[in-house]
Chain A
Amino acid sequence: MKAIRFSLTALTLVVAASAAQAQISDGVIKIGVLSDMSSLYTDLAGAGSVAAARMAVEDSGIEKRGYKVEIVSADHQNKPDVGSAITRQWYDVDKVDVIVDTPNSGVALAVNQITRDKGKAFLVSGAASSDLTGKACSPNTIHWTYDTWMLANGTGSSIVKTGGDTWFFLTADYAFGLALERDTEAVVLKNGGKVLGKVRHPLNTQDFSSFLLQAQASKAKIIGLANAGGDTTNSIKQAAEFGIVKGGQNLAGLLVFLTDIHALGLPTAQGLIVTNTFYWDSNDQTRAFAKRFAERDKGIYPTMIHAGVYSALTHYLKAVEALKSDDGTKVIAKMKETPTDDPLFGKGSIRVDGRKIHPAYLVEVKKPSESKGPWDYYKVRATIPADQAFRPLKDGECPLVK
């Protein structure tokens, strides 16, 4: 009898101790950072996204409150088949609960569908295609940091309004590039501009000469670069070699990250107009974050994608704690209900279509003489308020919006 009572007491204690993890699948919140770890997007996301995820978990203090958190990461090599194989294996075998980051819209769209089928959670920071909250929107996905509509609306419209009214697009030939080209073209036409032509290049191209010569021959005032990462820096560098800017045409980098500016150097990049949702030198909190981040990621300062991973996971962990569950569909629903608040993006909200809403900044790259130190690259020209920064809910054709 005594033995039974003892074991009952012990059991009660165990139950009480594990109450916090009652609804956590397998007792662990498992976060999978799926990113480009070796190719053209690795600097702007990659290992930095893993570092940002770690920081989010540490800063949330969730582990001190009895939850176990584990972070795994993998390289999708920018191939949808590799990305979806990893995703399936993570969900089926490794019991991953949430996938974050995933630059490369082609891969992200594949992950988006699998996540929905399996009822897990997907927090997009790296991918840009506005289809993730449009035609392909899902109750299991939140698109956090930025999207192609926002970039088009920021950089594109500001350039048309300052006289750049004839365009030629140099587009990365996959989901992201095509979405960015489509969204920017719409903005250009709406503001009375004209698109004189477009050419599409394969993802991760080394030699842009034939594409740039076509752009040069088009005589368009603006050559819109609907590409990202290594493709953008390569095309800008090679355009300089062809004397395109000296010849009177201007380049519009529609998606340029802080790390791309770093790779180009200010002498080449100066004067570029860029749209961003996060800049490390905005306030004390972002500066403190950037400093801690740089210590962990080989001295690289955080891009908006890194900041987005941190911010999205912070909000995710709050929702998990509030629900005491890591069920993907429920957590995403909870995240949408709850207003967001974190040191990097400030206060914000998440719409029913999965779009995270916050202000965007139109920034200009500084001249070398204006830059006071390493990574001091941007000056803010305008702030686009949160309610205008992203595509209106009704225009997205998202089936979740009724």
Chain B
Amino acid sequence: MPDPTSPAARVPFGETERTTAIAFALMVALFAVAPVVVYPVFLMNVLCMALFACAFNLLIGFGGLLSFGHAMFLGMAGYVCAHAAKVWGLPPEAAIALGTAASALLGLVTGLLAIRSQGIYFAMITLALAQMVYFFCLQAPFTHGEDGIQSVPRGKLFAVLDLNNIWVLYYVVLAIFVGAFLLIYRTVHSPFGQVLKAIRENEPRAISLGYDADRYKLLAFVLSAALSGLAGATKAIVFQLASLTDVHWTMSGEVVLMTLLGGMGTIFGPVAGALVIVGLQNYLAPLGQWVTVITGAIFVVCVLAFRRGIVGELAAWWAKRRA
């Protein structure tokens, strides 16, 4: 077995255009028909968390930056969106846009500070900033502390689509997810994405080639923050609630877990990871505290046995079979 941490073994770009297209079509088709058999609210939770994990993956998988404070973008966007929809009475599309914008702005401010460092220091700085945001959300009057912002109206999207209808809501969430997913795919495969990968592999060399590494990293950070915000804002509309859970550091940990479990640096990995983790939390909920133990055990097994994650291992197996 090749060393999975070596760049060559990371697989991410082993996927050919055609298999990716087929896999993408398969994923969208599955999500489109799934609500017939699976509880739609659960699926919407999966979609939101999958989007969150994809946004996180953009930063760690393709930019090599391990942020340990991504919950601040998810949670802050949720609060802003919920407040805009409930108190200011904005329509859902405006509320979601505002939430996303708030997270992008937060991403810009925190990013300017954080990208100056690397590795563990980067993780610690993002964690520290996220904790500040957490305590802000705990104390700020508009977030209502432990209670969160409750009974957020779903409203009508573009004044025509009634989001109180669970089916309409589901396909709107699916559309948001697919749109953001395609944006991430496009970003990764654009010249910008190539430069980002170059910086990840060897930053001094990228700089010596004339690329302004900090600017690229900041842009990636802001993009990731905005997309995390989009996930958080959508989640607030789906659950009609914005709460502290989404800004708590455990959420930042969970997204790392989802991404690693699914396959860091693969396009589909985070989606698979989100599906597994949210599914476990949902279907094992009657076991109470044991859920944490089980997800922990799965994480250990994953790190020991298949370090490329679910999708990473599948892609490697597929590539080997074809070779």
Taking the complex as formed, is B158 at the interface, i.e. its CB lies under 8 A from any CB of chain A? no
Q: Are B286 and A109 in contact (CB under 8 A)?
A: no
- Closest approach, in angstroms, between the C-beta of A212 and any C-beta of chain B? 20
Which of B150, B151, B239 sits near A85, CB closer than 8 Å? B239
Q: Are B239 and A84 in contact (CB under 8 A)?
A: yes
Q: Are B146 and A203 in contact (CB under 8 A)?
A: yes
Q: Chain B residues with Cβ under 8 A from A175's Cβ?
A: 146-147
Complex-state Cα separation, A80 to B150, whole angstroms: 8
Complex-state Cα separation, A366 to B198, whole angstroms: 74
Which of B39, B146, B148, B246 sits near A93, CB closer than 8 Å? B39
Taking the complex as formed, is A88 at the interface, i.e. its CB lies under 8 A from any CB of chain B? yes
Complex-state Cα separation, A88 to B41, whole angstroms: 8
Complex-state Cα separation, A92 to B138, whole angstroms: 31
Q: Are A106 and B146 in contact (CB under 8 A)?
A: yes
Q: Chain B residues with Cβ under 8 A from A110's Cβ?
A: 148, 150-151, 241
- Closest approach, in angstroms, between the C-beta of A269 and any C-beta of chain B? 27
Complex-state Cα separation, A225 to B217, whole angstroms: 50
- Closest approach, in angstroms, between the C-beta of A123 and any C-beta of chain B? 20
Complex-state Cα separation, A175 to B243, whole angstroms: 13
Complex-state Cα separation, A237 to B240, whole angstroms: 39
Give a binary string over B138-150; 1 marks a CB under 8 Å from any A CB, 0 the rest: 1000000111101
Taking the complex as formed, is B42 at the interface, i.e. its CB lies under 8 A from any CB of chain A? yes
Q: Chain B residues with Cβ under 8 A from A74's Cβ?
A: 285-286
Q: Chain A residues with Cβ under 8 A from B165's Cβ?
A: none
Name which residue of chain A comes closest to B166, CB basis.
A92
Complex-state Cα separation, A203 to B138, whole angstroms: 11
Taking the complex as formed, is B289 at the interface, i.e. its CB lies under 8 A from any CB of chain A? yes
- Known interface pairs A74-B285, A74-B286, A75-B288. Does A106 touch B41 (Cβ–Cβ under 8 Å)? no
Q: Are B147 and A174 in contact (CB under 8 A)?
A: yes
Q: How large is the interface on A (under 10, 10 to 19, 20 to 34, 35 or more residues)?
A: 20 to 34
Taking the complex as formed, is B245 at the interface, i.e. its CB lies under 8 A from any CB of chain A? yes
Q: Are B147 and A80 in contact (CB under 8 A)?
A: yes
- Closest approach, in angstroms, between the C-beta of A399 and any C-beta of chain B? 14
- Known interface pairs A37-B288, A38-B289, A82-B245. Does A89 touch B41 (Cβ–Cβ under 8 Å)? yes
Name which residue of chain A comes closest to B78, CB basis.
A81
Q: Are A81 and B241 in contact (CB under 8 A)?
A: yes
Q: Main SS of the interface on chain A?
A: helix
Complex-state Cα separation, A183 to B239, whole angstroms: 30
- Closest approach, in angstroms, between the C-beta of B77 and any C-beta of chain A? 15
Q: Chain B residues with Cβ under 8 A from A92's Cβ?
A: 39, 41
Complex-state Cα separation, A218 to B243, whole angstroms: 33
Q: Are A89 and B39 in contact (CB under 8 A)?
A: yes
Q: Are B243 and A80 in contact (CB under 8 A)?
A: yes
Taking the complex as formed, is A397 at the interface, i.e. its CB lies under 8 A from any CB of chain B? no
Complex-state Cα separation, A42 to B172, whole angstroms: 39
Q: Chain B residues with Cβ under 8 A from A203's Cβ?
A: 146
Q: Chain B residues with Cβ under 8 A from A88's Cβ?
A: 41
- Closest approach, in angstroms, between the C-beta of A78 and any C-beta of chain B? 8
Q: Are A174 and B41 in contact (CB under 8 A)?
A: no
Complex-state Cα separation, A86 to B239, whole angstroms: 11
Q: Are B150 and A109 in contact (CB under 8 A)?
A: yes
Complex-state Cα separation, A92 to B151, whole angstroms: 17
Scan residues 132-162 of chain B and give those whose CB is less than 8 A from a CB of chain A. 138, 145-148, 150-151
Scan residues 78-113 of chain A and give those whose CB is less than 8 A from a CB of chain B. 78-82, 84-86, 88-89, 92-93, 105-106, 109-110, 113
Name which residue of chain A comes closest to B236, CB basis.
A81
Q: Are A202 and B147 in contact (CB under 8 A)?
A: no
Scan residues 53-91 of chain A and give those whose CB is less than 8 A from a CB of chain B. 74-75, 78-82, 84-86, 88-89
Name which residue of chain A comes closest to B285, CB basis.
A74
Q: Are A86 and B243 in contact (CB under 8 A)?
A: no
- Closest approach, in angstroms, between the C-beta of B243 and any C-beta of chain A? 4
Complex-state Cα separation, A106 to B150, whole angstroms: 9
Complex-state Cα separation, A93 to B150, whole angstroms: 22
Q: Are B39 and A80 in contact (CB under 8 A)?
A: no
Q: Are B147 and A106 in contact (CB under 8 A)?
A: yes
- Closest approach, in angstroms, between the C-beta of B194 and any C-beta of chain A? 39
Taking the complex as formed, is A173 at the interface, i.e. its CB lies under 8 A from any CB of chain B? yes
Give a binary string over B32-66; 1 marks a CB under 8 Å from any A CB, 0 the rest: 00000001011001000000000000000000000
Give a binary string over A160-180; 1 marks a CB under 8 Å from any B CB, 0 the rest: 000000000000011100000
Q: Are B147 and A109 in contact (CB under 8 A)?
A: yes
Name which residue of chain A comes closest to B151, CB basis.
A113
Scan residues 223-282 of chain A and give those whose CB is less than 8 A from a CB of chain B. none
Q: Are B148 and A106 in contact (CB under 8 A)?
A: yes
Q: Are B243 and A89 in contact (CB under 8 A)?
A: no
Name which residue of chain A comes closest to B286, CB basis.
A74
Q: Are B146 and A89 in contact (CB under 8 A)?
A: no
- Closest approach, in angstroms, between the C-beta of B236 and any C-beta of chain A? 10
Complex-state Cα separation, A20 to B150, whole angstroms: 39
Most buried by A among B42, B45, B145: B145
Q: Chain B residues with Cβ under 8 A from A202's Cβ?
A: 138, 146
Name which residue of chain B comes closest to A93, CB basis.
B39
Q: Are A89 and B42 in contact (CB under 8 A)?
A: yes
- Closest approach, in angstroms, between the C-beta of A130 and any C-beta of chain B? 15
Q: Chain A residues with Cβ under 8 A from B41's Cβ?
A: 85, 88-89, 92
Complex-state Cα separation, A384 to B196, whole angstroms: 72
Q: Are A81 and B148 in contact (CB under 8 A)?
A: yes
- Known interface pairs A88-B41, A106-B148, A202-B138. Does A81 touch B288 (Cβ–Cβ under 8 Å)? no
Q: Chain A residues with Cβ under 8 A from B151's Cβ?
A: 110, 113
Q: Chain B residues with Cβ under 8 A from A78's Cβ?
A: 146
- Known interface pairs A88-B41, A202-B138. Does A81 touch B239 (Cβ–Cβ under 8 Å)? yes
Name which residue of chain B comes closest to A173, CB basis.
B145
Q: Are A173 and B146 in contact (CB under 8 A)?
A: yes
Q: Are A84 and B241 in contact (CB under 8 A)?
A: yes
- Known interface pairs A38-B288, A202-B138. Does A81 touch B146 (Cβ–Cβ under 8 Å)? no
Q: Chain B residues with Cβ under 8 A from A173's Cβ?
A: 138, 145-146
Name which residue of chain B comes closest to A94, CB basis.
B39
Please provide the 9 A-B residue pairs with the shortest distance between their CB atoms, ordered closest to farther: A174-B146, A106-B147, A81-B243, A113-B151, A175-B147, A80-B148, A81-B245, A93-B39, A110-B150
CB pairs A–B below 8 angstroms (28 shown): A38-B288, A75-B285, A75-B288, A79-B243, A80-B147, A80-B241, A80-B243, A82-B245, A84-B239, A84-B241, A85-B45, A88-B41, A89-B39, A89-B41, A89-B42, A92-B39, A92-B41, A93-B39, A106-B146, A106-B147, A109-B147, A113-B150, A113-B240, A174-B145, A174-B146, A175-B147, A202-B138, A202-B146
* Further pairs besides A80-B148, A106-B147, A110-B148: 13, Cβ < 8 Å: A80-B146, A80-B243, A81-B246, A84-B239, A86-B285, A89-B39, A106-B146, A106-B148, A113-B150, A173-B138, A173-B146, A174-B145, A202-B146
